[in-house]
């Protein structure tokens, strides 16, 4: 297990050096540097956390909570600094997806090699 942990640490360090990771960090710093953007982003995160909590508890958000979420979403979409975070996160997610696919490729190949007799006849 220690070897896997060492390799994960190396992967983490490599990921942190990628252009995509650095873009997320830079975008976050851009929001942090603008007080209005930082407040809007903080509000957005709190609203998202509340909605997720309601969902996990099997509750419907109140009408006021939904209206607040919608108005916050509009503010977020109008803030270029915050949108840079989302765009950068999307690019980083693609890198993470590639890593995940690579990590699971051996298992996927095993599944792919599993051929049932009825499949061979088709």
What confidence tens digit (pLDDT) does each residue in 10-60 have?
999 999 999 999 999 999 999 999 999 999 999 999 999 999 999 999 999
pTM here is 0.80
Q: Which domains does the chain have, with CATH numbers?
A: 15-112 (1.20.1500.10)
Burial of 34 (0-12, 13-18, 19+ CB in 10 A): middle
Torsion sign, CA atoms 74, 75, 80, 81: negative
């Amino acid at each position: 297990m220690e070897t896997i942990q060492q390799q994960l640490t190396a992967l983490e360090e490599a990921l942190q050096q990628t252009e995509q990771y650095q873009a997320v960090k830079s975008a976050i710093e851009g929001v942090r540097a603008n007080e209005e953007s930082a407040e809007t982003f903080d509000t957005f995160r709190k609203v998202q956390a509340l909605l997720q909590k309601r969902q996990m508890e099997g509750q419907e958000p109140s009408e006021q909570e939904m209206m607040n979420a919608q108005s916050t979403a509009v503010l977020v979409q109008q803030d270029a600094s915050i949108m840079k975070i989302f765009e950068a996160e999307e690019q980083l997610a693609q890198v993470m997806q590639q890593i995940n696919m690579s990590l699971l490729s051996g298992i996927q190949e095993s599944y792919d090699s599993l051929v049932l007799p009825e499949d061979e006849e088709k």
